[in-house]
Amino acid sequence: AMAHSKALLVLENFIGGKFIPCSSYIDSYNPSTGDVYCKVPDSGKEEVEAAVKAAKDAFPIWSSKSPLERSRILNKLADLIEHDLEAFAQAESKDQGKTITFARTVDIPRAVHNFRFFASSILHHVTECTEMPAMGCMHYTSRAPVGVAGLISPWNLPLYLLTWKIAPAIACGNTVVAKPSEMTSVTAWMMCKLLEKAGVPPGVVNVVFGTGAKAGEALVCHPDVPLISFTGSTLTAQRITEKSAPHCKRLSLELGGKNPAIIFDDADLSQCIPNTVRSSFANQGEICLCTSRIFVQRGIYNEFLKRFVAEAKKWKTGNPSDPTVNVGALISKEHLEKVRNYVKKAQAEGARVLCGEGVDPLALPSGNQKGYFMLPTVITEVKDESCCMQEEIFGPVTCVVAFDTEEEVIKRANGVKYGLAATVWSGNVGRVHRVAHRLQSGLVWTNCWLVRDLNLPFGGMKASGIGREGAKDSYEFFTEVKTITIKH
Ligand code: NAD
């Protein structure tokens, strides 16, 4: 009989167009089974040094290509990822714990779109020009790529968020060293295998795998990396800001949120309820834009709560590769514990858990008993000061509370340190505009959620970030501008 040894997947760094083994590795888990299934390079200074050197060497040629040449290569890469969409989706689901459905319909299509979008938008930028006839002068601006871009991404939307940085960085003519999350490195490694075929020259995209403390920090501290684009937690962003300060690096920081949904009594509940369930629990609540504080106007509070809980209970938790499942596994054992603890703390403070964690039974298939699963959980009777209403939980947990007036709810919605995204539900157009203007939030969705136009700025206020990314914003971030004056 054949021995069934389950070979571990072993990733390698991608530096200067070559896959390079590392001297030590980190275990990576399949969140839906709890098994170690992959080894990720535990890179440090040495590997980052080699990657930065490769990126520096590739810069002169890549930056001197025309936008059209770069655009063609980005489009080719998009096509290649799209061709392997199913393999990428399977890998993302296995590595991250998210449902195969979400990976197939959101993560990978968006990664493809990121390359196509910036392949197109890079062709359409115009620089400025002004004239001063009295002085006999004209002025114009010129934009040039900055150099080696350091890109650091989180584990919740692995390839989606990494390509949201790589695409604009290389479209603008920079070369990059990317460091994906050590917990979700597989799809970035798969992408590296397609770069040569797409025509990306060696050294233009380098990927160094490893932890934040070792590989991430080596990148942040490297003197030849003038720019860091980071997506992750506010705490890590503070550390990155500190570490990069001596080098005066340019930073773009996309951080956490504690996003409110404000539901007025004239909202169309048939739209609002399923969408707010989705905005609370999509991707296990592990999206920076997920709703976690739901403010419902008093008149419809009881009806909303009843219907909302009924809808949340319909969401099936289980094996991520089952296409009928809505909620997959959380990223790690530690993260599951952290999320569960928030629910316990809320209960200890006197809040009521209406469904999910600790209330309903969680039946899992036999292969998933050791996975990191949790049911969609709805908490109510919770105070605004409670940690569940103030801190980012980043799991399938949402709080529902009542409010009376518009003035009151704006103040309460703004009463957290974060300011990333908000949703407003109301049939009154005037009110929708008024409230949207007063919310301290980089994004406000009214009567919808997560509808994005990549042309427009994305990013957060307050502790949710610094800077914006989008067609124009990313172009400005990833290029250095110069004002030139000509006297004639
Ligand atoms: P994290 O901050 O722990 O890690 C993010 C990345 O930073 C990882 O690659 C990690 O290895 C690296 N890192 C950690 N310490 C570092 C250091 N000292 N120096 C350099 N790099 C370091 O975040 P996470 O847990 O992976 O992701 C979840 C967080 O990301 C949540 O707070 C979520 O809201 C946020 N997020 C924000 C957005 C957004 O666009 N605003 C999108 C997705 C996720």
Structural domain contains residue 192: yes
Of the chain, the percentage scoring pLDDT greater than 90 comes to 98
Largest Cα–Cα separation, the chain: 91
Q: What's the 154 CA to ligand 1 centre distance in angstroms?
A: 4
Return d(Cα 431, Cα 288) in angstroms, integer. 26
| Spatial contact of 153 and 178, defined as CB atoms under 8 Å apart | yes
Classify the C-alpha dihedral 14-20-23-25 as positive or negative: positive
| Residue 190 banded pLDDT, cuts 50, 70, 90 | very high
For residues 440 and 469, membership in a common domain is answered with: no
For residues 215 and 340, membership in a common domain is answered with: no
Q: What's the 127 CA to ligand 1 centre distance in angstroms?
A: 33
For residues 286 and 248, membership in a common domain is answered with: no
Q: Whose CA is nearest to atom 42 of ligand 1?
A: 288
Structural domain contains residue 453: no
| Residue 488 banded pLDDT, cuts 50, 70, 90 | confident
For residue 260, pLDDT beyond 90:
yes
Q: Which of 378, 408, 409 is nearest to 393 (CA)?
A: 378
Mean pLDDT of 352-374: 97
Name the one residue in this structure whose structure tokens are 């989606």.
160
Q: What's the 233 CA to ligand 1 centre distance in angstroms?
A: 4
Tell me how many degrees the CA angle 150-155-160 measures, rounded to the nearest 5: 70
**Cα radius of gyration (the chain):** 23
For residue 3, pLDDT beyond 80:
no
Q: What's the 311 CA to ligand 1 centre distance in angstroms?
A: 31
For residues 246 and 266, membership in a common domain is answered with: no
Strand, coil or helix: 161: helix
| Residue 5 banded pLDDT, cuts 50, 70, 90 | low
| Residue 97 banded pLDDT, cuts 50, 70, 90 | very high
Structural domain contains residue 426: yes
Q: What's the 394 CA to ligand 1 centre distance in angstroms?
A: 12
Structural domain contains residue 1: no
Q: How many structural domains does the chain have?
A: 2
For residue 254, pLDDT beyond 90:
yes
Give the CATH number of the domain where residue 283 resides. Answer: 3.40.309.10
Beta bridge pairs of residue 207: 14, 178
Q: What is the pLDDT of residues 118-148, one digit of tens each?
A: 999 999 999 999 999 999 999 999 999 999 9
For residues 311 and 356, membership in a common domain is answered with: yes
Residue to probe by mutation, ligand 1, list 107, 152, 157, most atoms within 8 Å of CB: 152
How many residues make up the chain in this entry? Answer: 488
Atom of ligand 1 nearest to the CA of 240: 19
Structural domain contains residue 121: yes
Structural domain contains residue 157: yes
| DSSP one-letter code for 299 | G
Other beta carbons within 10 Å of 142: 12
- The per-residue pLDDT of the chain, averaged, comes to 97
Domain that holds residue 296: 259-446
Q: What is the pLDDT of residue 7?
A: 86
Q: Whose CA is nearest to atom 23 of ligand 1?
A: 232
For residues 483 and 389, membership in a common domain is answered with: no
Structural domain contains residue 4: no
Structural domain contains residue 186: yes
For residues 399 and 469, membership in a common domain is answered with: no
Q: Which of 358, 361, 364, 403 is nearest to 379 (CA)?
A: 358
Residue to probe by mutation, ligand 1, list 42, 156, 209, most atoms within 8 Å of CB: 156
Q: What is the pLDDT of residue 389?
A: 98
For residues 298 and 209, membership in a common domain is answered with: no
Q: What is the pLDDT of residues 405-418, one digit of tens each?
A: 999 999 999 999 99
| 51 vs 6 pLDDT, higher one | 51
For residues 250 and 280, membership in a common domain is answered with: no
For residues 237 and 284, membership in a common domain is answered with: no
For residues 476 and 384, membership in a common domain is answered with: no
Identify the residues whose C-beta falls under 6 Å from ligand 1: 152-156, 161, 179, 181-182, 211-213, 216-217, 220, 231-233, 236, 239-240, 254-257, 288, 392, 394, 420, 460, 465
Give the tokens for residue 31: 């969140």
For residues 190 and 93, membership in a common domain is answered with: yes
254 is known as an active-site residue = yes
Check 217, 254, 357, 392 and give the catalytic one: 254
Return d(Cα 240, Cα 386) in angstroms, integer. 28
| Spatial contact of 440 and 464, defined as CB atoms under 8 Å apart | no
Q: What is the pLDDT of residues 287-344, one digit of tens each?
A: 999 999 999 999 999 999 999 999 999 999 999 999 999 999 999 999 999 999 999 9
Give the CATH number of the domain where residue 106 resides. Answer: 3.40.605.10
Residue to probe by mutation, ligand 1, list 161, 236, 336, most atoms within 8 Å of CB: 236
Q: What's the 160 CA to ligand 1 centre distance in angstroms?
A: 14
Q: What is the pLDDT of residues 17-27, one digit of tens each?
A: 999 999 999 99
Q: What is the pLDDT of residue 313?
A: 98
